[in-house]
A and B are shown apart, each in its own frame.
Chain A
Amino acid sequence: KQEVTQIPAALSVPEGENLVLNCSFTDSAIYNLQWFRQDPGKGLTSLLLIQSSQREQTSGRLNASLDKSSGRSTLYIAASQPGDSATYLCAYGGATNKLIFGTGTLLAVQP
């Protein structure tokens, strides 16, 4: 079974800290990997998309990396803010087009 694991499951940090969220997957034939944030009771907001030929993508304070050979991706958040508090989900897409999701990391940034 294709699996995606996200570590840690929950994380609480003081405002201003840099942090790293981890995502590992078992399928080596991925086409792309997407990071999302989900606020309570809301849908998913796409943060970054990394194609299989890329190693990283950056958007503002966010940087995501992809290592297909080891089946890992990381999301780096610089200078965290209380507004970053949310659940962060990673998901990969393959030949079937559907996304396979992890269970997410619940992030709380304390003011």
Chain B
Amino acid sequence: GAGVSQSPRYKVAKRGQDVALRCDPISGHVSLFWYQQALGQGPEFLTYFQNEAQLDKSGLPSDRFFAERPEGSVSTLKIQRTQQEDSAVYLCASSLGYRGPRSGNEQFFGPGTRLTVL
């Protein structure tokens, strides 16, 4: 498909387990973003990659959260020792990545992974 894909779509984890969430961006998109969406809220930024470089990880809530994009395409968000407060929908987005205030940095989102920690 031509869109952003994410897997798994749903993940149930027991508290303390590690989880890994995958994102396949649109082919050719340089920028990749991860967001966390709690129930009834708007998405909140977690981290941002430009190719394989993680340029901003200011939104990661704790050192249990780790993201990587080793070859500049697929990205994985890993959560170690999951806690109940980690339960949320994790959204991935990609964009062409042109810089500057006149750029059309439109972000395209995947369907998300709904994580439930019991």
The answer to whether A binds B is: yes
Check A43 against B109 for contact (C-beta < 8 Å).
Answer: yes
Size bin of chain B's contact surface = 20 to 34
B111 touches A99 (CB 8 A): no
| CA of A96 to CA of B45, assembled, Å | 11
**What residues of chain A lie closer than 8 Å to B105, measured between beta carbons?**
31-32, 93, 97
- B84 to A: closest C-beta gap in Å: 21
Residue total for A at the interface (Cβ-Cβ under 8 A): 27
Q: Identify 9 new A-B residue pairs, CB closer than 8 A, beyond the known A43-B6, A99-B35, A101-B43.
A: A31-B100, A32-B104, A46-B109, A52-B101, A96-B48, A97-B48, A99-B33, A99-B93, A101-B42
B residues adjacent to A (C-beta < 8 A): 4, 6, 31, 33, 35, 40-45, 48, 55-56, 59, 91, 93, 100-112, 114
List chain A positions with a Cβ less than 8 A from chain B. 4, 31-32, 34, 36, 41-46, 49, 51-53, 89, 91, 93, 96-104
